[in-house]
Structure 1
């Protein structure tokens, strides 16, 4: 007997935020990366398409393993194994990272993701443990180009940026950042100085800068429709894999 959820258009679009053709592209990527490869022991009780749906629904709804299990008519332990096995295979691929060309304009920014793992996050002023995740998006296409590994949330954006591998991926490309990225090589708005107001031209530059940079904030808002980015309960590399997978699905949602 099959569970409540199946990989058909109704459930895919309702529970993953992807149309069926977009979900099929995601499935193709996972299959090409070996998601349906040989496994020691007993075979999976779900086909690959349903296992990819399990991971997508988990990221979209942030349900617990015990809540997900009855939906697919499997055990909570099987749900856990499926997620552990497939989550690296949903990651944003190298093609997305190298999609830029020198005349492209990219935008960099960071966002805080609440986490339960105190080795990944850090306590902020509101006493909530969060992690700082840095993103680069393409200003024209709004595709996610790359993400950095999560850092403790009490670190400044500029520090997290310098310690990540993102600067190396931006060689020769103009990247916008907000005022938190001063002295990082990014294009930041003009700052006010004591006793010196901004000039008329600088005000106009800042207004245009804000207008373009707002696109990364819109991307964050769409990505956080995947509720695991509102409260990540798992430990270790789970948040990193979730961010990568959601960035991949976000790109599919606006291109496929």
Structure 2
């Protein structure tokens, strides 16, 4: 299969490679120059990384698709993966009018420094993701923490809490005492009041959007079993969000 066939395959999966190529070029994707030139143009290199994230193929499997060596595939991924990451989230000016949703998801990994044997019976990392409730776009993906980390601790330790100051952020019952909007809980000897039951139902309806975002992001198979070490997982999460957001907004 040549790059043009791979391009057609990615078109079915709504990967916006043209827009990604422009952004990579603006971020210095062609490099400072003066060294050995790449054997693939920038558009094909961006497509290679997009196919890698979408299919989670190995370097040896990707190499013949693009007519290059496995070592070149590795270098392309190492070079472009930080450039494809979503822009770091900042606190919005109209924070009081925003509604964001946060939740954590477990992603199987092989990096023993990042993951831990967790409740899904796999070696996984806990990644906190924030989405906009109105547009359903991913705002930010936090640094991964071991999969045994509770969501409340992961929220405090992985960094996104500072971005959400002043923003209304619903979350599930695992985020008690974090300052987020959580559902009402039953207490010993007291049932939920009728208004609290209705509030919990509305809370579940709104918070379900982040679960839909996880399902959409995990169409990219890199998030079903990440083999990358070091910064590979956070770059993968942020790149998947960067590739999926324009397709959702279209």
Q: Establish whether TM, by shorter chain, passes 0.5.
A: yes
Q: Find the counterpart in structure 2 of residue 196 from structure 1.
A: 190
Alignment of 1:158-237 (within 5 A): 158-237=152-231
> 1:97 Cα deviation (Å)?
4.5
> 1:41 Cα deviation (Å)?
3.5
Aligned-residue CA RMSD in angstroms?
A: 1.7
Is this contact kept in 1: 2:7–2:47, CA < 8 A? no
Q: Find the counterpart in structure 2 of residue 142 from structure 1.
A: 136
Alignment of 1:241-256 (within 5 A): 241-256=235-250
Is this contact kept in 1: 2:110–2:228, CA < 8 A? yes
Alignment of 1:17-28 (within 5 A): 17-18=13-14, 22-28=16-22
Is this contact kept in 1: 2:2–2:65, CA < 8 A? yes
Is this contact kept in 2: 1:7–1:49, CA < 8 A? no
Task: For residues 118-144 of structure 1, give each alpha carbon's deviation from its aligned partner in whole angstroms, at most 9, with x where no partner exists.
Answer: 110001245410000001100000011
Q: Find the counterpart in structure 2 of residue 101 from structure 1.
A: 94
From 2, 5, 8, give the equivalent of 1:4: 2
Gaps of at least 5 residues in structure 2 are: none
Gaps of at least 5 residues in structure 1 are: none
Q: Find the counterpart in structure 2 of residue 59 from structure 1.
A: 53
> What TM-score, normalized to structure 2?
0.95
Aligned length, in residue pairs: 249
223-232 or 160-169, which moves further after superposition?
Answer: 160-169
CA distance in 1, matches of 2:245, 2:62: 25
Distance 1:127 1:72, change over 3 A: same
CA distance in 2, matches of 1:224, 1:190: 30
CA distance in 1, matches of 2:44, 2:92: 30
